[in-house]
């Protein structure tokens, strides 16, 4: 047996085996139906209506926009008997067990009700039946915006649970296959960055989710308490699986290139799916379901499209055609079952998940072959490059002199860049030493973490370029050495040395080495530039001469503080700045004022993050303006705010609202002392649950009066 066929045969055996079991034991039951077109009948009124008997073993009522009543006449039942309705996608279901004209048991269920309210926590609807020695009847009032196929069973609870466990195992295996294929293709997408794999991953996810939802597992595991989504989940999954199917097929088959007219037709179906999604949201579920079923025609069209594209010479279309044909068999059986052409049994019930599982596996094999195709294309590309190199040997010879000069220039630039990098690293070490000495700053740990995070990226960027640059330089030296050997060789060996030098240049891909050296040097220069920018912000923030009174730009201090807090800002909340232009310099202690800004902005970031809002809804703003003879700095946030009872104590030494070990209570106390040293004032405006604003007023002349 061909080894490539063994996994497929194993899958067929695994999936087909559960389909050999019977579904219903309804031979002893008579089923009657009444269409409640008025949508108003209650139980006592409905039982008086003329019910029509259904001859089919499994009632198939189609898609209805009104309730339907079912009466099932059942023989005497024993103890521990249960009635199971194997249709998990019903919106609302009212159950009545009636004996001798009286209601013995009544219950309410359906996707429109909380899953936790069900008597039995299983995907299908399970109701207890009282033990009776006489015949009785079961009345069901059913309403749903989906296809109403109503298989049922009456059996002991243990037997029904055994059947449910068998179904759970089947769909557990199915979900496992879908998950493995999902993770496998997601890993490949991360590796090769081919968007075909991304579209296929989305397709796998929504197709698998659709099958689980259609069989009731959405309510059990995903949204048991969300009735709005439960009622619409089958519609949403149908729309999303259809959309991802069409998008994947368009990109995998290159329909825009090979079948333009069919490409636009598939776009039409995307529009219909969009309309169905809007109708689902607005509550027109019956019309949405009919549109989704109409779009199922696109599945048949994809077979035609794949066949046409394959005939045009696009080989991957054959894989798609085979896999999709297998899936289409399952779709056909599923649709014919819904239309009543085929009977409802385990074969027709599981045809769609079996087909989708096999199709997912086969398409994964097809996409895996795409890697080999990319490899072959790369090999052809390399061969073309080698031919181009042989055709341009004369040009390469003429450019060797220019190349040697450029190599020397690049070498000098590299040496200069390394020297600049060493200087930058020395400055960085000096800046870090200054931070260590500034232990009196309450937020030392936060600063160190932020600086380390921001410096790590450019330094890693530079260091990662050094090794490939060294390798390229070594290759260049080998080429130069080979040409040097030409000059030193005897006349009879000169042509041999020239040939060897040319072959070496071709093997090492000389033009590619030149281009890579240039790219690596640019990368090192960019990394050094980013490092210098961070060091500059750190130098401005720390102010080695902070104990000296001097003229300084307040805006510059705010900007340097934000640079230090950059990593914290990225993780906790965005910061908006509105700094006044042409703000005059003021007489101050720059380093101490930077400490004020850092403490207050850090508190604002933490307060905003503590709200639990999404990142984009958090807000911290910093502004500056000139008011009279003073500079006013405002730092506001939309965080948790400060309770009125706490506001009066926030500037007290060692007072903190943080957990033990997470705050010393000195931050705002130090802030108040620094502002007092500048003859300034600080005002706090806050409202619990809405946010806080700190207003700092600093006189331009320290000996002047603050306003």
The predicted-structure confidence for 437-480, as pLDDT tens digits, reads as follows 443 454 555 555 555 555 665 666 566 667 777 777 877 788 78
316 vs 287, residue with greater confidence: 287
| pLDDT for position 632 | 93
Instruction: Give DSSP secondary structure letters for 369-421.
Output: HHHHHHHHHHHHHHHHHHHHHHHTHHHHHHHHHHHHHHHHHHHHHHHHHHHHH
634, 652 Cβ separation under 8 angstroms: no
As given in the structure block, the two tokens for residue 360 are 């997912």
| pLDDT for position 527 | 62
User: What's this model's pTM, rounded to 2 decimal places?
Assistant: 0.48
- Same domain for 285 and 431, yes or no, is no
At 538, is the pLDDT very low, low, confident or very high (cuts 50, 70, 90)?
A: low
Averaged pLDDT, 175-180? 84
Compute CA 580 distance to the chain's CA centroid, rounded to the nearest angstrom: 40
The predicted-structure confidence for 302-313, as pLDDT tens digits, reads as follows: 888 888 888 888
Nearest-angstrom CA–CA distance, 563 and 457: 14
Helices 227-253, 297-311: crossing angle, 10 deg rounding = 10
Would residue 10 count as lying in a domain?
no
- Same domain for 284 and 226, yes or no, is yes
Tokens 């380390």 identify what position? 452
Would residue 705 count as lying in a domain?
no
At 593, phi and psi to the nearest 5?
-65, -35
- Same domain for 219 and 365, yes or no, is yes
Tokens 């590299």 identify what position? 414
Would residue 571 count as lying in a domain?
yes
Residue 622 has pLDDT above 90, yes or no: yes
| pLDDT for position 449 | 53
- Same domain for 554 and 508, yes or no, is no
CATH number, domain containing residue 554:
3.30.565.10
Averaged pLDDT, 425-429? 68
Classify residue 483 as exposed, middle or buried by CB count within 10 Å of its CB (0-12, 13-18, 19+).
buried
Ordered strands of the 30-35 beta sheet: 52-54, 30-35, 68-74, 136-143, 92-99, 102-109
Average pLDDT value for the chain:
77
468 vs 39, residue with greater confidence: 39
At 637, phi and psi to the nearest 5?
-145, 165
Residue 4 has pLDDT above 90, yes or no: no
Please compute Rg for the chain using Cα positions: 37
- Same domain for 145 and 114, yes or no, is yes
The candidate with the shortest Cα–Cα distance to 33, out of 79, 66, 2, 6, is 66
The candidate with the shortest Cα–Cα distance to 699, out of 676, 668, 673, 683, is 676
- Same domain for 158 and 171, yes or no, is no
Q: Give me the half-sphere count of Cα atoms (radius 13 Å) on the Cβ side of residue 115.
A: 22
Length of the chain counted residue by residue: 707
The predicted-structure confidence for 142-174, as pLDDT tens digits, reads as follows: 988 887 888 888 888 888 888 888 888 888 888
Farthest-apart Cα atoms in the chain, separation: 120
The predicted-structure confidence for 576-613, as pLDDT tens digits, reads as follows: 999 988 889 888 888 788 888 888 888 888 889 888 88
Compute CA 376 distance to the chain's CA centroid, rounded to the nearest angstrom: 32
138, 92 Cβ separation under 8 angstroms: no
Compute CA 675 distance to the chain's CA centroid, rounded to the nearest angstrom: 46
Tokens 């069973």 identify what position? 153
Would residue 222 count as lying in a domain?
yes
Q: Among 492, 526, 542, which residue terminates a domain? A: 542
19 vs 536, residue with greater confidence: 536
Ordered strands of the 630-637 beta sheet: 575-579, 620-627, 630-637, 691-699, 681-687
Q: Give me the half-sphere count of Cα atoms (radius 13 Å) on the Cβ side of residue 461.
A: 19
- Same domain for 534 and 592, yes or no, is no
**Region at 52 (left for phi over 0; alpha for psi -120 to 50; beta for the rest):** beta
Nearest-angstrom CA–CA distance, 477 and 465: 18
Q: C-alpha distances in angstroms, 501 versus 407, 477, 487?
A: 17, 12, 11
As given in the structure block, the two tokens for residue 192 are 């090769």
Residue 546 has pLDDT above 80, yes or no: no
Averaged pLDDT, 497-504? 78
| DSSP reduced 3-state for 628 | coil
| pLDDT for position 326 | 78
Nearest-angstrom CA–CA distance, 129 and 72: 13
Would residue 298 count as lying in a domain?
yes
| pLDDT for position 666 | 56
- Same domain for 576 and 519, yes or no, is no
| pLDDT for position 17 | 40
Would residue 240 count as lying in a domain?
yes
- Same domain for 435 and 532, yes or no, is yes
Nearest-angstrom CA–CA distance, 530 and 34: 76
Instruction: Give DSSP secondary structure letters for 634-675.
Output: EEEE-SS---HHHHTTTTSTT---SPTTS--S-HHHHHHHHH
Would residue 5 count as lying in a domain?
no
| pLDDT for position 623 | 93
Tokens 């790369």 identify what position? 378
- Same domain for 236 and 348, yes or no, is yes
531, 483 Cβ separation under 8 angstroms: no
| pLDDT for position 16 | 41
Q: Among 121, 145, 162, which residue terminates a domain? A: 162
Q: Where are the alpha helices (DSSP H) in 438-508?
A: 444-488, 491-507
- Same domain for 449 and 534, yes or no, is yes
Nearest-angstrom CA–CA distance, 89 and 85: 11
| pLDDT for position 434 | 54
Q: Among 359, 382, 405, which residue terminates a domain? A: 382
- Calculate the dihedral angle through the C-alpha atoms of 232, 233, 236, 240, rounding to the nearest 10 degrees: 180
Nearest-angstrom CA–CA distance, 495 and 196: 51
Residue 531 has pLDDT above 60, yes or no: yes
Nearest-angstrom CA–CA distance, 558 and 315: 61
| pLDDT for position 111 | 84
Give the residue numbers spanning the domain of 474: 392-542
| pLDDT for position 2 | 40
Averaged pLDDT, 245-273? 87
| pLDDT for position 299 | 74
Number of domains in the chain: 4
Strands 575-579 and 620-627, by their bridges, are: parallel
Would residue 432 count as lying in a domain?
yes
Residue 634 has pLDDT above 90, yes or no: yes
- Same domain for 485 and 560, yes or no, is no
The predicted-structure confidence for 87-136, as pLDDT tens digits, reads as follows: 888 888 999 999 888 888 889 988 888 888 887 888 888 888 887 878 88
CATH number, domain containing residue 276:
1.20.1070
């Amino acid at each position: 047996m061909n080894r490539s066929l063994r996994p497929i045969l194993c899958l067929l055996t695994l999936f087909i085996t559960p389909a050999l079991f019977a579904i219903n034991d309804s031979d002893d039951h008579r089923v009657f139906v009444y269409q409640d077109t008025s949508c108003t009948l209650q139980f006592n009124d409905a039982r008086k209506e003329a019910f029509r008997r259904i001859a089919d073993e499994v009632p198939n009522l189609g898609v209805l926009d009104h309730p339907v009543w079912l009466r099932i006449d059942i023989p005497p039942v024993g103890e521990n008997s249960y009635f199971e309705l194997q249709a998990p996608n019903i919106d609302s279901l009212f159950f009545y067990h009636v004996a001798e004209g009286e209601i013995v048991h009544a219950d309410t269920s359906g996707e429109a009700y909380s899953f936790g309210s069900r008597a039995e926590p299983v995907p299908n609807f399970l109701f207890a039946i009282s033990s009776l020695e006489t015949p009785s009847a079961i009345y069901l009032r059913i309403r749903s915006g989906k296809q109403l196929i109503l298989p049922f069973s009456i059996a002991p609870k243990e037997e029904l649970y055994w059947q449910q466990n068998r179904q759970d195992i089947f769909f557990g295996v199915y979900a496992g296959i879908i998950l493995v294929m999902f993770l496998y293709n997601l890993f490949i997408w991360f590796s090769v960055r081919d968007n075909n794999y991304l579209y296929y991953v989305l397709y796998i996810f929504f197709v698998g989710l659709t099958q689980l939802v259609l069989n009731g597992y959405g309510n059990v595991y995903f949204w048991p308490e969300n009735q709005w989504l439960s009622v619409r989940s089958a519609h949403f999954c149908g729309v999303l699986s259809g959309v991802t199917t069409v998008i994947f097929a368009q990109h995998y088959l290159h329909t825009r290139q090979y079948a333009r007219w069919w490409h636009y037709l598939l776009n039409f179906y995307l529009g219909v799916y969009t309309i169905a999604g809007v109708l689902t949201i607005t509550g027109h579920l019956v019309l949405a379901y009919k549109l989704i079923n109409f779009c199922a025609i696109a599945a048949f069209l994809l077979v035609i499209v794949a066949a046409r594209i394959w005939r045009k010479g696009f080989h991957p279309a054959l894989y798609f055609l085979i896999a999709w044909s297998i899936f289409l068999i399952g779709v056909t059986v599923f649709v014919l079952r819904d239309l009543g052409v085929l009977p409802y049994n385990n074969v027709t019930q599981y045809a769609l998940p079996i087909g989708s599982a096999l199709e997912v596996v086969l398409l994964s094999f097809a996409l895996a072959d795409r890697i080999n195709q990319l490899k072959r294309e790369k090999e052809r590309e390399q061969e073309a490059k080698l031919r181009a190199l042989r055709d341009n040997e004369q040009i390469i010879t003429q450019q060797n002199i220019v190349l040697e000069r450029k190599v020397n220039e690049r070498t000098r630039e590299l040496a200069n860049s390394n020297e600049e990098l060493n200087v930058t690293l020395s400055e960085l070490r000096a800046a870090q030493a200054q931070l260590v000495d500034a232990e009196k700053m309450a937020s030392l740990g936060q600063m160190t973490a932020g600086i380390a995070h921001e410096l790590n990226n450019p330094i890693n960027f530079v260091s990662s370029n050094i090794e490939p640059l060294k390798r390229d330089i070594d290759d260049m030296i080998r080429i130069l050495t080979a040409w040097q050997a030409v000059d030193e060789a005897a006349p009879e060996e000169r042509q041999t040395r020239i040939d060897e030098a040319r072959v070496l240049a071709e093997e090492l891909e000389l033009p590619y080495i030149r281009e890579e050296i240039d790219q690596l040097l640019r990368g090192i220069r960019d990394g050094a530039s980013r490092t210098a920018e961070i060091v500059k912000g750190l130098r401005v923030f720390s102010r080695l001469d902070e104990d000296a009174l001097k003229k300084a730009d307040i805006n510059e201090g705010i900007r340097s503080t934000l640079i230090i807090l950059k990593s914290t800002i990225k993780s906790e909340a965005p910061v908006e700045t509105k700094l006044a232009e042409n703000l005059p310099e003021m007489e101050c202690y720059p380093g101490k004022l930077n400490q004020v800004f850092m403490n207050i902005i850090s508190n604002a970031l933490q307060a905003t993050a503590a709200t639990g809002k999404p990142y984009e809804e958090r807000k911290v703003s910093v502004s500056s303006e000139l008011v009279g003879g003073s500079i006013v700095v405002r730092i506001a946030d939309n965080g948790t705010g400060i309770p009125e009872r706490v506001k009066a104590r926030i500037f007290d030494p060692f007072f903190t609202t943080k957990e033990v070990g997470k705050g010393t209570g000195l931050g705002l106390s130090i802030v108040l002392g620094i502002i007092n040293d500048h003859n300034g004032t600080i005002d706090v405006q806050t409202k619990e649950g809405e946010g806080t604003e700190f207003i700092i007023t600093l006189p331009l002349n320290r000996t002047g009066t603050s306003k």
